[in-house]
Structure 1
Amino acid sequence: MKLSFTEENKKQKKAQEFNTDIDEDNYIGEKGTSIFGGWLGDHDKRTKKSFRAFLVLLLAFVLLIGGTVFSVKGSINYKAFVKGNTTDIGVTLNYSVSNAKVTLKNVFSDKNHDLTIVQLGYSSQSHELLPAQGINYGINIITKSKEDIPANLKVEYGLLGTDGDGYLFLKGKLKEQSYQVFLTNHLDLSVDENYEVDNNTAKLSDELSLTSEISRNSYQNMDDNGIVTDNEDEGLLDKVNFRVNSYSDSTKIYDGSFLKSDGSINYEKVIDVMALSDLKSSTKQLIQKGKEQLKAIDLRIEEYEGRLNINEKDTQSQELLDEAKEQKEKVEKKQMEYEEQLKNYSNIIFSKKDFGKTQTEVNIIEESKLNAK
C-alpha cells in the first residue's frame, strides 16, 4: 500500500527526532534531575527564574542581618554617648517624691576646668515645695571608682537668694568623663522652713537610702537624657539626678578663670558670666530697640506737625500727632527703666553670703556598691 506524502513525511520526521543527538546542557533525566552544563547551571528559563528569586532572597537576608547588626551597634554607641556626656541643657528634672520640677539651665566650666558649675532653675512652684537653703540638700556623686574623683575636690550647693536658681559648684580638675550627680531633699516641709537636719545623720541616711533604692531598680535604667529612672514607687528619698561632664560640647567654657588668685571661688565672676551677662545683653537690646522706636515716632511727629502748619483745621493729623506724642512718653519712660536696670546689673556685686547656708558635704558612691543588674 502506498503512503501518502503527508504520512510519509510524518514518519521521516519522527525518525529524525529519534536519532537527534542529546543536548547534555538541557537534558532532563528520568528522575527529573538536571545535568549541569554551561555557566552556573543549565539555561532553562524556569531554572534562570528560580535562580534569580534565590539571589533576591539571599540579598534580602544579608541586608536584614546587616541592618540588625548596624541598629544594635548604633543603639550601643548612642547609649555610650548619652552616658558619657552632660545631660541636655533645658531638660526638666522631677523630684521623685515631692514632684517639684527644676530645670537644668546651664553647665559651665572655666578654661582650665578648675571649677565646674551646674545651674538649676527653680519655678515659683518648686520654691514652694523645696527648701531655700542649700544646707537642706544632699550631694551624691556616683562614679566607677573613687580614684576618678580629684583628691582635692570640694563641692558646694546653694540658692542665690530665697527665690533664685540653685548652683552646684564642683571645685577640682575633673577627669574627661561624666559623673552621675544625685541631689536629695532633706527638708521635711511639715516643719518650719528654717529647720535644718543634722548634717552627719543626713549624710549617712543619703548613702544608705540612695544605694538601696538604686540597687532595687538598677543603675542601668537610664533614659535618653542620661537620667537614672525608677522602676518602682517605693523610694522614700526625694531626689533628682543628672550627668555632668566638664568636657562635653554642651558644657559652656568661660575663657578665663572662675577662681581668685588665692584659689577661692569668685562668686561675683560666676554670676556675672552665667546670669548677669545674658540679662545685660537682653537689656541692651531692649534699649537699642527703644531708640529705634523713638526715631520712628519723631519722624511721625515731624510729619503731622508739618501738615498742621499747612492746615490748622486738619483734625485727623491733630489726633495722630497727639497719639504719637503719648506713645513717645511711654517709650521714653521704659527707656529710663531699662537704663536704670542695666546700671543696677553693672553695679551689683555677689559674694558667698548671697547663696545663704550652703551644703559642702558630699557622698562619693562607687557603682560596685549599687549591685547594678
Structure 2
Amino acid sequence: MQTTLSRLVRFGLHIYGIWPYAPSTVLFRLYWIMMLSMAQVFQYRYVIVNIHMDDFSQFMDGVSSAMASSLLYIKLVLLWTNQRIFFDMLQMMSADWQDHITSRYSSRVMTKTANIAHRASRWIIGFQMVAVVFYSAGVLAANIDNPERVEPYKRELILKMELPFNISTNSIYVAVQSVQFYHLFFVACGITTINSLLVTLILHVSGQIDILRERLMKAFSKNATGSTEEITMQSLITKHQQIIIFSESIENLYTYIAFMMLLSDTLIICCLGYVIATSLDTPNAAAILVKSVLFYITMNLEAFIYCLSGEYLSAKSKMIGNAAYDSLWYDFPAKESRMILFVIIRSQKRLAITSGKIMDLSLERFTSVVKASASYLSLLLAMY
C-alpha cells in the first residue's frame, strides 16, 4: 500500500535509529552515538587548539562543520527520546490511508500528496549529496593548487580535526580522507532525512485538511441528497480533532529541533559567509568557493524548509475555518449549524510549529535568521 513516507526516508529513519521499536534501532543508535561522539571530540579539539590561528577563515570553516555535526547529534537525540510521539503519528498516518482508500476524492488527494512528498524528499536529499561532493572536491582542489601542501601532514582534511596521530604518509592521508568523506556523507544524509520527514508530515496533514474542507462543502450543499447521512457532524468534528492532534504531535516532535536549528544555522551561515567573503581575494578562491558556496546554500535551505513548513501549516489551518464559513450551514437545521460554528471558532486558533515553544516558524522568521547572520558577518569582517 502506498504511504506518504517515501522508501528513501523510511530507509534513512531505520539507519539512524529513528524508526520506533524496530529490532535494529538500539544497535544503530549505539553506532551513531559512538561515531558522532568520536568525531565531535576531534572537531572541537581542532576549534580549541586553533582558536588563535592566523588564518581565521580556516578556523571558521572548522567551526561551521563541527556545528553541523552537532546539530545532527541534537536532532537524533530529540527524535530518539520522542519515539512514542513518532510511533503514534505513524499509526495515525496508516489509519488515514486505510480510511480514505474507499473515497475517490480522498484517495486522489492522498496519492497526490504522497507523490509530492516523495519528490520533495529526493530533491532535498539529492541536493545535499551534491553539496557534500562539491565540499570534498573543493578541499582536494585546494590541496592540488597549493604547492606548499606537498607533504601529507600539511594537506587540508575534508573535516577540520585535531587527530591524536600524525599524517606522515600518503596512505594514512588517503585513509583519513576516505573515513571523513564517509562520515560527512552520512551526516548529510541524516540531516536531510530529518528535514524530509518534517516536509512529509506537513504535506500529509495538509492533505487531511483538504479532505476535511471538501467534506465540509459536501455536507452543507443544496444538492447533497443523502450525503449528510454519510458525512455526519460527528465525523467532521472527529476529523478536525485528528488534524489538530497530528499537528500538535509535529509541534512536540520538532519544536526543540527547530529551536536548535535556528540558533546553529544562524552561526553556521555567518561562518560560511565569512569564509566566502574573505576568499574572494585569495589565490585559491575558486577551490574555496566550490567547497563553501553549496554548503552555504544548503544551510540557508534548511532554515527555509523549516520556516516554510510552519508558514504552510498555518496558512492551511486557516482554510478550514474559511471552508466551514463558505459552506451553506445557514440553510440547515439549527442543531447542525451550531455545531459548524464550533469548527469555525476552533479554526481561528491556527495550527503552527514553534521554535522551542517561543516563536512561530514563518517566512518572517527566516528573514530574521538571514538578517542576524548578515549582522554577525559584517561584525566579523570589521574585526578581522
Superposition TM-score tier, normalisation by shorter sequence? under 0.3
**Structure showing greater Rg:** 1
Looking at secondary structure, tell me which structure has more helix per residue. Answer: 2
Looking at secondary structure, tell me which structure has more strand per residue. Answer: 1
